[in-house]
Chains A and B, each alone.
Chain A
Amino acid sequence: MRYLDDFRDPEISRQLIEAIRQTVTRPWVIMEICGGQTHSIVRNGLDQILPSEIELVHGPGCPVCVTPLAYIDAAIDIATRPGVLFTSYGDMLRVPGSRGSLLTARSEGADIRMVYSPLEALELARENPDKAVVFFSVGFETTAPNGAMAAIQAEREQLDNFSLLVSHVLVPPAIKALLGAPSNRVQGYLLAGHVCAITGWSDYRRIADDFGIPMVVTGFEPVDLLRGILSCVSQLEKGEAHVTNEYARAVREQGNLIARTTVQQVFEVVDRHWRGIGMIANSGLRLRRPYHRFDALRQFDIDVTPVTESGVCISGEILQGLKKPFQCLAFGAQCTPQTPLGATMVSSEGACAAYYAYSQRLNDRKLS
């Protein structure tokens, strides 16, 4: 079986870059929506070796980055209440809320644990019947099925000491919002391969048609990313705007039907505030009525009203593809992965963190 290594093959990558070079005749702005792809692009230096006509801008596809400040504050509020055992994916722990992060709350004594999957949170709920175990269910369409399965399983086992703090977001409404903004510069999209593994890509056909924008389902290895870019550029040069799939080994047109049905059973679509971007209609998920007893916001009687962000951080403009991390005055100075001011510096999937890691490497190379 030819796996990861072959999709990193420098020779195939070189040929793809050459093919892109032969295809491109004028400047194009392409957005990769997914933070995982941003990270891979910057780590592999793809943005440096592509023809200069192609500008890659980094989209809002980092769940850690767009989870609203109000939800981080709600998480800390819940986690610091007596008798609570709060669980979360690891990368949410360092995200700064308006008063510290989950990590600082933990250092002050709150019982906060990192889990890899919500099934581990269920396990903790079974082992600790005297504790109220809460799982911070965040992320895009990729993690929503996991939260949904946890709710179903909690119901099945009647685990009344378990609840979910749900802040899931959906990609297509965000793309529509970005494309519809007067400031939009993006002419083509690389669609997040793992989101599409769940959702399929039929929803994107409408968007591609309505906005006349090519959209390419793309994977995460250099060969995948370069194939995605080549397909996108070929369409742009020919004036075409289709949805194509360059990640066929993992993504099928209808996506994962069981996961989609499960998500629909448990969650309903609501308007959601995105950190750094603002309110986007129909862009979030919340628990449906039959699962309300597992809703942490209800259990702990918490109201999430949008909170204003601090002034210096420009992560909102970065998430919309309007600015690059280097344009932020705080970048690498007051703001580093150790002392993040904004969410895009916290997660390794955030554009600021990816740029920071890359510029560090350049400096290391200069020193050695």
Chain B
Amino acid sequence: MCLAIPGKLIEIYQERGLTMGRLDYAGTINRACLEYVPEAKIGQYVLVHAGFGISVIDEDEAQKTLAIWDELVAQAAEEGTDIFGRPLNGAGGPAGDGESK
């Protein structure tokens, strides 16, 4: 019951005094109560838990979480290494590297 999944908000409507929404979860459409996320806009991703939106996904933060690695990898690659400073041609690693595990 603790599983919350992000769905894309495709419609906002009122029902018995509650703000509700229809969300698209990778093709599956379901409704959720939006009373706790009044800021949610059509097209945004809303984290839904047991039929209630609890948080609007911050796309910038989502990109950042992933981008840090992309950038690190890209920067390191420019210097011809991976992110741990090892040569990209794959020869050896720094001392104490637990590769054998």
A349 touches B2 (CB 8 A): yes
B51 touches A89 (CB 8 A): no
B1 touches A2 (CB 8 A): no
B interface, size bucket: 35 or more
Query: Considering only CB atoms, which chain B residue lies closest to A35 in the complex?
Result: B2
A258 touches B4 (CB 8 A): no
A194 touches B61 (CB 8 A): no
A153 touches B66 (CB 8 A): no
Most chain-A CB neighbours within 10 Å: which of B63, B94, B98? B98
Do A145 and B52 form a contact, CB below 8 Å, given A153-B18, A249-B58? Answer: yes
A248 touches B65 (CB 8 A): yes
CB distance from B4 to the nearest CB of A (A): 5
Chain B residues closer than 8 Å to A195, beta-carbon distance? 2
Residue A51 CB within 8 A of the other chain: yes
CB distance from A147 to the nearest CB of B (A): 10
A249 touches B65 (CB 8 A): yes
Chain B residues closer than 8 Å to A145, beta-carbon distance? 36, 52, 54
Query: Considering only CB atoms, which chain A residue lies closest to B67 in the complex?
Result: A2
Do A249 and B62 form a contact, CB below 8 Å, given A35-B2, A117-B52, A140-B2? Answer: yes
Chain A residues closer than 8 Å to B66, beta-carbon distance? 2, 6-7, 9, 12, 223
Which of A64-99 touch B at CB < 8 Å? 64, 89-91
Residue B9 CB within 8 A of the other chain: no
CB distance from B75 to the nearest CB of A (A): 13
Residue A165 CB within 8 A of the other chain: no
Encode A17-30 as 1/0 by CB contact (under 8 A) with B. Answer: 01101100000000
Which of B18-57 touch A at CB < 8 Å? 18, 26, 32-33, 35-38, 45, 47, 49-52, 54-55, 57
Bound complex: CA of A116 vs CA of B33, how far in Å? 12
A interface, size bucket: 35 or more
Chain A residues closer than 8 Å to B36, beta-carbon distance? 145, 149, 256, 258-259, 262
Bound complex: CA of A227 vs CA of B56, how far in Å? 21
Chain A residues closer than 8 Å to B35, beta-carbon distance? 149, 258, 262
Bound complex: CA of A51 vs CA of B2, how far in Å? 28
Bound complex: CA of A265 vs CA of B26, how far in Å? 35
B2 touches A63 (CB 8 A): yes
Chain B residues closer than 8 Å to A1, beta-carbon distance? 45, 59, 62
B51 touches A91 (CB 8 A): no
Bound complex: CA of A34 vs CA of B3, how far in Å? 10
Bound complex: CA of A135 vs CA of B54, how far in Å? 20
Residue B13 CB within 8 A of the other chain: no
Query: Considering only CB atoms, which chain A residue lies closest to B69 in the complex?
Result: A12
B54 touches A194 (CB 8 A): yes
Residue A146 CB within 8 A of the other chain: yes
Chain B residues closer than 8 Å to A157, beta-carbon distance? 16
- Footprint of A on B, CB under 8 Å? 1-4, 6, 16-18, 26, 32-33, 35-38, 45, 47, 49-52, 54-55, 57-59, 61-66, 69, 72-73, 83-84, 94, 97-98, 101
Known: A146-B52, A249-B58. 17 other contacts (CB 8 A): A1-B59, A9-B66, A18-B84, A62-B2, A117-B52, A145-B54, A149-B35, A153-B16, A157-B16, A194-B2, A197-B54, A220-B3, A249-B61, A249-B65, A251-B55, A256-B55, A347-B1
Closest 4 CB pairs of A and B: A117-B51, A249-B62, A249-B61, A248-B61
